[in-house]
Amino acid sequence: MNIEISANTVNLFGFWGKFVVSVIAALATIVWARDSKLKTYVVFNIWSFVFAMTINYLILDRFFNFSFQPKNHTPWRSFSGVNIFLYFIFSDWLFYFYHRFVHTIPLFWTGHFAHHSGSKLHLTLILRENILSQIFTLPFALLGIPLGLQPLGIVAMIRLIIFYQSFLHYEVKDDLPIFNLAFVTPYNHILHHSTVYRGTGHNFGGILNIWDKLGGTYSDEKEYLKEFGVPGKKEENSLWALNIAPLIDLAQDCWRRRSLLPLPRSSFMRRGEHIKWY
């Protein structure tokens, strides 16, 4: 018996799922937290997402004819469990590849900078994006075409992976035994966001941690300092700081070296090396 799942359904579940989780977390923080700065922080994270998605929707839908909610509601494909498995495995690997790529290549880092600029691990951090985040992500979905995988299906699956990632952005003291043998855990992701430990050069995985283990970027370090954000950058909760400032930094870097091609901050092949940001 074949199971038919619409890419539109998966896409919307992943997209709105992380938004709903974050809004619930934000409301809980606003009601019960005493830290006014934290309240401002979570509200801004949601606002940055709404702003970025509005701009992305206008650009992608008007100029590239790509909508977050496909108008024709075409089924992703009538597929068996094997096809679901192939989409998931490829998309999870692609998330790892893309995540490591944007941490290495300065131009693409400008789209990921916003997410790492938050100095507090909170469920709403998954929404802290800028206008380049989605635009830089979409072309990578084309890498599945040689394998017969539809780009819309890959985008939908990656949104599902990001929904899983929504639950990784909070502080925990210990890792999850057994579960951490195969899956990315909140503890793994804490190390990824840490500015003091070499975290930002580790733990790029989406759901499965096998890609980090194969790529030499997995870490379960037990000692680290709880300082998050971008090294050398003070957290700024403004749309300018998230959307424009990274591009200015990139342009200044190119100007200083008199080159139109910015150099990567660390080699893509250097395993686990700490990356020096702008």
Residues 231, 277: Cα–Cα separation, whole Å = 7
- Provide the token pair at 249: 């930094």
Largest separation between any pair of C-alpha atoms in the chain: 61
pLDDT (0 to 100) of residue 270: 38
| 3-state class (DSSP) for residue 268 | coil
Radius of gyration of the chain (CA): 19
DSSP 44-57: HHHHHHHHHHHHHH
Per-residue pLDDT tens over the stretch 180-199: 899 999 988 988 888 765 54
What global pTM score does this model have? 0.86
pLDDT of res. 80: 57
- Return the higher-pLDDT residue of 172 and 248: 248
Q: How far apart, in whole angstroms, are the C-alpha atoms of residue 171 and residue 196?
A: 15
Q: Can you give the pLDDT at residue 51?
A: 94
| HSE, side-chain direction, 13 A CA sphere, residue 112 | 20
The more confident residue out of 9 and 224 is 9
Residue 42 pLDDT exceeds 80? yes
Helix intervals (H) in the chain: 7-32, 36-63, 81-102, 106-116, 133-137, 151-165, 186-193, 210-215, 239-243, 245-257
Which token pair is 275?
């990356």
DSSP letter string over 173-238? SS--TTGGGTB--HHHHHHHHBSSSGGGGS---SSBSHHHHHHT-----S-----BS-TT-----S
231, 224 in Cβ contact below 8 A?
no
Q: Which of 243, 42, 228 has the alpha carbon at shortest distance from 132? A: 243
Report CA-CA distances (Å) from 159 to 18, 23, 116, 227: 9, 17, 19, 28
* Spatial separation of the C-alpha atoms in residues 274 and 221, rounded to whole Å: 14
65 compared with 107, residue with greater pLDDT: 107
Which helix H or strand E contains 3, and what residues bound it? strand 3-6
